[in-house]
Amino acid sequence: MTKIGTVESLWRYPVKSMSGEAMTEAFMGFSGFYGDRCFAFKNSTARKGFPYLSATVQQQMLRYRPQFRYAERALRPPNLTEAVSIAPGLTPANAEPNDLILDVVTPSGATLAVDDPTLVEMLGEGLRGENHLTLVRSDRALTDCRPVSLISLQTVRQVEAELGFSVDKRRFRANVYLNLASDDGFAEDELVGRRLRIGSSAMIMVLERDPRTIGTVESLWRYPVKSMSGEAMPEAFMGFSGFYGDRCFAFKNSTARKGFPYLNANAQQQMLRYRPQFRYAERALRPPNLTEAVSIAPGLTPANAEPNDLILDVVTPSGATLAVDDPTLVEMLGEGLRGENHLTLVRSDRALTDCRPVSLISLQTVRQVEAELGFSVDKRRFRANVYLNLASDDGFAEDELVGRRLRIGSSAMIMVLERDPRCKMISLDPDTGEHNPEVLRQVARAHAAFAGVYCAVLVEGILKKGDSIELLD
């Protein structure tokens, strides 16, 4: 047995996403620290997998300071002494009803009971949409993933050094802050899969690195016909070859180059004004056997669409609705093209993307491009599958994710492969097709013509608007 460091401080967070409490000692049970995350506020508009209001949505939560009304009784289980004296050490009882009565000190300094309706009203201020908040009380810690989290001061210092400014360790919201014997940052990563004894008897197994939430999904988009208008989706199935129903149709152009044989808006700007819509919207959301496939360990790859699941119509700029294989649509798309162009409809079971299966861009990047240009830029110009709202305010912050893995929602995982090289497409207005070359020129001047990133899918899954995005490495 080797001593690797000491406990620098212990923390618990009585209300999920509110301020934490430093402790001189803490009882660590199988479900986490006693009194940690024992309260939370369910949000009616949050996703089912993560139903709680958090500081990702309501940043002011961090300024609310919970405090147990009876501090001594909130330190440890009521029968701890008796339980541990019975060999081999019994599991202590849960708290008595009045042991964990909680008050919350608000940012203005007022003290309210955690179940005071005024507190709910205050937490709801500034939230978008209709949010119904409900207090939840639990006998186990309502942690995001695992019962206990740990980080070393050396890791915090390395992050500080990389950033060039001071970083408060409390940003990481760990239960245990370690002072390791090693000066190396991120040395705790080497402890994954190993057991640690803390103090005289408590023992933990280090299960995995702690993924950091770097933002949320602002919106999800697919583009059923290559270069036509996109479709915003509340949820989408992301498979290894891309979003289900994304770029599953295209028009081959006989005069296009072999490497890129499809008609696109660079050649036919009016394509952006055509609006595809699946005839059977519900059947076009996800693979037909998705539920059955994911229930078979370790999660099987779902089947392709049935022949009639992805029947597609296209609303033309004039408002007429045509089947995607209607010869009239081909004629309309050929109007104004130079030379002899023979267009042929192509249907594919994989997304006919330009380079990689999934594309991603942050709203912060779009806003930076806007600021540089001095006029409003519609995010749809960038035709991403996933638009991110990052915790950082910096534009182009997604560039730093290249080579790293992200988890989106509860299970889907991607690898960020490379920056997304841009072409004339971002200079085209998504509603009118009008060309403004200054957009691409600016991105080329300031960012070497890159904006957003391309990704490969490591683990398939359903993504939803509002999903958290976690950095895994």
* DSSP string computed for 421-472: E--GGGGB-TTT--B-THHHHHHHHHHTTEEEEEEEEEE-EEEETT-EEEE-
What pTM was computed for the model?
0.68
Looking up tokens 């994911």 gives 294
Give the pLDDT confidence score for residue 123 in this predicted structure: 96
Q: Which amino acid is at 205?
A: M
Report how far apart, in Å, the C-alpha atoms of 459 and of each of 203, 405, 453 are: 32, 11, 18
User: Residue 398 in contact with residue 362, Cβ under 8 Å?
Assistant: yes
Give the pLDDT confidence score for residue 259 in this predicted structure: 82
Beta-carbon neighbour count of residue 319 at 10 Å?
7
Residues 221 and 325 in one domain: yes
Q: Would you give the distance in Å from CA 330 to the centre of its chain?
A: 39
CATH number at residue 409: 2.40.33.20
Residues 147 and 244 in one domain: no
In whole angstroms, give the CA distance from residue 138 to residue 408. Answer: 26
Residues 153 and 255 in one domain: no
Residues 224 and 201 in one domain: no
β-pair type (5-12, 176-180): antiparallel
Domain that holds residue 72: 5-210
Residues 204 and 238 in one domain: no
204-215: string of b/e by CB count within 10 Å (b at 16+)?
A: bebeeebbeebb
Residues 202 and 296 in one domain: no
- Among 210, 239, 268, the domain boundary falls at 210
- Among 186, 210, 234, the domain boundary falls at 210
- Among 210, 240, 257, the domain boundary falls at 210
Read off φ and ψ for residue 409, nearest 5 degrees: 70, -150
Query: What is the maximum alpha-carbon separation in the chain?
Result: 90
Residues 317 and 176 in one domain: no
Residues 366 and 283 in one domain: yes
70-107: string of b/e by CB count within 10 Å (b at 16+)?
A: eeebbbbbeebeeeeeeeeeeebebbeeebbebbbbbe
Residues 346 and 370 in one domain: yes
Q: Count how many domains the chain has.
A: 2
Spans of the chain below 70 pLDDT: 47-49, 87-88
Residues 331 and 415 in one domain: yes
Give the pLDDT confidence score for residue 146 in this predicted structure: 83
Structure tokens that stand for 358 in this block? 């999934």
Question: Bridge-partner residues for 308, per DSSP?
Answer: none
- How many degrees, rounded to 5, is the angle at CA 158 between CA 154 and CA 159? 120
User: Residue 6 in contact with residue 180, Cβ under 8 Å?
Assistant: no
Residues 189 and 237 in one domain: no
Residues 197 and 223 in one domain: no
Structure tokens that stand for 74 in this block? 């909130």
Give the pLDDT confidence score for residue 7 in this predicted structure: 97
